[in-house]
Structure 1
Amino acid sequence: MSANLVVLALSLLLGIQPVTTDLYLPALPAITAEFGASLAQAQLTLSAMLLAFGLSQLVWGPVSDRFGRRPVLLIGLAGYTVAAAASAFAASMETLLVWRIIQGAAMGASVMCARALVRDLYTPEVGARVISKGLTGLGVIACLNLPIGGILAEVFGWRVTLLAPAVFAAGTLALVALRFRETLSAPNPHALAPATLLRTWARILRHPTFWAFTLLASASYAGLFTILAMSSFVFITLMGLSKLGYGLLMVSMTGSYLAGTVLCRYLLLRLGVIRTVMVGGGLTAAGGTLLGVLALAGAHTPMGLMPAIWLFAVGHGIHQACGQAGAVGPFPQAAGAASALSGFLMMLAAFGMGSGLGRVVDGTLFPMTNGVWLSGVATALVAWGLVRRVRL
């Protein structure tokens, strides 16, 4: 496959995650009202989906090491398309939750294979630059999600916002079926043997580089998840923004994330992975702390809070590229298993954050601002502590 096709495939395979998490956010208050559900139940459609996404990767990873990336992608994308279409016709919050969980499980195949194929084709340092290009494409997709979601919800209703991801997945499935070539040069026939699988997981979990980069990506994603889970209620319900206005506001955050992925590539060429991550740690700590302080100081308006969110998003763009490539870097023969474990732990962190948010929701913006503050500080501690000690 050409380099451009690899980047396009990465953008779409990684981009299915923000399509799943972001597109329906402008409609989430309407979905909650339609079904007479609580805020905690509404957030469960996001957090439970992400937990299924993380758990499923533990299965998809070894299966892809055994049979290759392409068949796993075809099965996963087909299953996702069906589940996404079915969710649009859910008659209750419980039914919607079930289909969202199935969506998350199928989505695991797409994102896990995207991270693994980078290791199939590239060394860790080159892989970080390539995956940052894919994440730039993801950022473009994410930029479009929220305004499109707002328009669809405003004009056609919330069910269409749930149907749109099925269209995206069907298009990605067509590209994989027609153009994608297998990237795993030597499938492991023993990858699914229980003894082999346990030894592989144990080897991965004992590796300090895996933990450093996985914790980096997880801590940063926990902050983004907090924004995704709470921002529609903060900006639409508490501050009175329209669905379209909220979507445009989130586009600006995604633009900052895009800038972070571009900055990441610039810094990687000049500073290397470790020092780039340390710069990113400073950005996330500054953004999270600024957001918490602004909220405490009474800056309870969209433009009062957004500068801090923009700063956090720039750092997130750095940490996701470096974290996802770095976690699988030491395991060229088990990239699927390493990608799966890293993805599972990242989603476990997001689920933990979502569960915590559900318990502390108090009708104010502080659960969101304090959650991002905590994430920013934790990300910086990992960057300046664990990642700094890694030898690549």
Structure 2
Amino acid sequence: MSAPSATALPAAPAPVSIHPGLAILVLALLLSIQPVTTDLYLPALPALTRSLGAPLSAAQLTLSGLLLAFGCSQMVWGPLSDRFGRRPVLLAGLTIYTVASVGSALAPSMALLIVWRIAQGAAMGAVVMCARAIVRDLYTPLEGARAMSKALTGLGIVACICAPMGGLLSEWLGWRAALSALTVYAVVTLALVALRMPETLAQRNPQALQPRALVGTWLHVLKSPTFWAFSLQTTATYGGLFTFLAASSFVYIDVLGLSRTQFGWTMASACAAYLGGTFLCRRLLARHGLQRTVAIAGGLSVAGGTLMALVAWMGWHHPFALLLPFYLFMVGHGIHQPCGQSGAVGPFPQAAGVASALNGFMMMLAAFAIGGWLGQRLDGTVWPLVNGIWFWSVVLALISWTLVQKFGAARDRA
């Protein structure tokens, strides 16, 4: 597929040289800002809601509003990074995120907390979008899937730490302490990027922000069946994860009776299953290639979601009984995300920022819709959590077994 003449992009120059260890470390920290932003405060969410005297629907907005801003902002940050480079966009995003983290921790009302969380989401869009684009700057699609799985292993480790840490902080020092920890993470990451991370975009696109060129690039990406196959795959797997993130604290703490600390360890165990999935991903890629790996992950996902629904239907409403099958879904998620994210941007070496932004926007649009649905459906039972995860596991398996198998091997070029 060739781009329209009005938006023709220059040939890709030689890849930028960067130490492999530094690249993986920075990618892991940049991608981890998303679970840090969500998982650290999840154990405190019920207490936060009561402390600020807000309804459940408003509490859901602190998560779904953040993620909608995260998705929408990438539509702006993506072209900016293609025009000016990844480094300046990263520095701007991390700086804004740091300020918003301080505001969130000090917010005196739910309304102001939502505003600051939306600002965090917009800034987080710059960070995660650039991380995905950097993968395409440095690697081919298959190499990018392996590199992404290593970076997401780091994300899994961080996520395993975040949930219990959030539970302990909120238990000992209150929910504001859990939100304050985000500032520390942001400052450390900002310092590493400012001091050690070079620019990875070998050649900036001077036309990236021109309306005609920008629309042409968007259309070029959106016409690619490969982009749609992998983007729908990542959207479906994130839909299942977000259902768990948005509903699990209310279900496991308020319905099933876990303490905030116990819930934190529950989250950590799910993150450990995800971590195992990222290791398994690299082994499967080496043995079976990208498409077969995604098909295997689809089977794990639908098995986990279906078993979870069966357990709930049989009346075994116990934390561990519901968590065991969800581990299968999380192992699949650890395979789907590196394969899907690298596959979605793979065909577009000269428009990786735009492709990454569109992919991220789709995931976060789904998350916002799920958050709104859960805000109206959380009814003091396990069923909103169970039904949501089962639905997305079935959708994910169908996409993995059909669209990815048909279009995943395509090699469009921007």
TM-score, normalising length: structure 1: 0.99
AA at the equivalent of 1:159: R
2:214 pairs with 187, 194, 197, which one?
Answer: 197
* Match of residue 155 from structure 1: 172
Distance in 2 of aligned mates of 1:19 and 1:43 = 17
Confirm or deny that 1:316 pairs with 2:333. Answer: yes
1:20 pairs with 31, 37, 62, which one?
Answer: 37
Confirm or deny that 1:348 pairs with 2:365. Answer: yes
AA at the equivalent of 1:27: A
* Match of residue 91 from structure 2: 74
Q: Matches of residues 152-301 of structure 1 in structure 2 within 5 Å?
A: 152-301=169-318
Structure 1, 38-47 or 110-119: larger mean CA deviation: 38-47
AA at the equivalent of 2:292: R
Distance in 1 of aligned mates of 2:50 and 2:363 = 30
What SS is found at the alignment partner of 1:88? helix
* Match of residue 358 from structure 1: 375
Aligned residues: 392
Distance in 1 of aligned mates of 2:335 and 2:120 = 27
* Match of residue 42 from structure 1: 59
Root mean square deviation, CA, Å: 0.6
* Match of residue 111 from structure 1: 128
AA at the equivalent of 2:369: G
Structure 1, 126-135 or 299-308: larger mean CA deviation: 299-308
What SS is found at the alignment partner of 1:75? helix
Distance in 2 of aligned mates of 1:378 and 1:84 = 35
Using the TM superposition, give the Cα deviation of residue 362 of structure 1 relative to its aligned residue in structure 2, in angstroms: 1.6
Confirm or deny that 1:101 pairs with 2:82. Answer: no
Show CA shifts across 1:156-187 (max 9, x none).
11001111111101100000000000000000
Using the TM superposition, give the Cα deviation of residue 152 of structure 1 relative to its aligned residue in structure 2, in angstroms: 0.5
Show CA shifts across 1:231-277 (max 9, x none).
11111111111111111111110000000001000000000000000
AA at the equivalent of 2:281: C
Using the TM superposition, give the Cα deviation of residue 117 of structure 1 relative to its aligned residue in structure 2, in angstroms: 0.4
Using the TM superposition, give the Cα deviation of residue 287 of structure 1 relative to its aligned residue in structure 2, in angstroms: 0.5
What SS is found at the alignment partner of 1:363? coil
Distance in 2 of aligned mates of 1:350 and 1:281 = 20
Distance in 1 of aligned mates of 2:198 and 2:328 = 38
Moved over 6 A (4+): none
Show CA shifts across 1:39-69 (max 9, x none).
1111110001000000000000000000000
Using the TM superposition, give the Cα deviation of residue 208 of structure 1 relative to its aligned residue in structure 2, in angstroms: 0.2
* Match of residue 88 from structure 1: 105
AA at the equivalent of 1:150: G
AA at the equivalent of 2:326: I
What SS is found at the alignment partner of 1:183? coil
* Match of residue 8 from structure 2: none
Using the TM superposition, give the Cα deviation of residue 346 of structure 1 relative to its aligned residue in structure 2, in angstroms: 0.8
Distance in 1 of aligned mates of 2:381 and 2:101 = 32
* Match of residue 342 from structure 2: 325
How high is the sequence identity, in percent, across the aligned residues? Answer: 60
Show CA shifts across 1:54-108 (max 9, x none).
0000000000000000000000000000001111010110000000000000000
Distance in 1 of aligned mates of 2:368 and 2:224 = 24
AA at the equivalent of 1:333: Q
| 8 A contact 2:247–2:378 mirrored in 1 | no
Using the TM superposition, give the Cα deviation of residue 359 of structure 1 relative to its aligned residue in structure 2, in angstroms: 2.3
Using the TM superposition, give the Cα deviation of residue 217 of structure 1 relative to its aligned residue in structure 2, in angstroms: 0.4
Show CA shifts across 1:273-293 (max 9, x none).
000000000000000111111
Unpaired runs of 5+ in structure 1? none
Distance in 1 of aligned mates of 2:321 and 2:231 = 32
TM-score, normalising length: structure 2: 0.94
AA at the equivalent of 2:164: P
Using the TM superposition, give the Cα deviation of residue 22 of structure 1 relative to its aligned residue in structure 2, in angstroms: 0.5
Distance in 2 of aligned mates of 1:39 and 1:310 = 27
Using the TM superposition, give the Cα deviation of residue 190 of structure 1 relative to its aligned residue in structure 2, in angstroms: 0.6
* Match of residue 398 from structure 2: 381
Confirm or deny that 1:8 pairs with 2:25. Answer: yes
AA at the equivalent of 1:83: A
Distance in 2 of aligned mates of 1:302 and 1:47 = 24
Distance in 2 of aligned mates of 1:375 and 1:144 = 26
Distance in 1 of aligned mates of 2:106 and 2:267 = 27
AA at the equivalent of 1:23: L
| 8 A contact 2:305–2:325 mirrored in 1 | yes
What SS is found at the alignment partner of 1:36? coil
* Match of residue 337 from structure 1: 354
| 8 A contact 2:254–2:380 mirrored in 1 | no
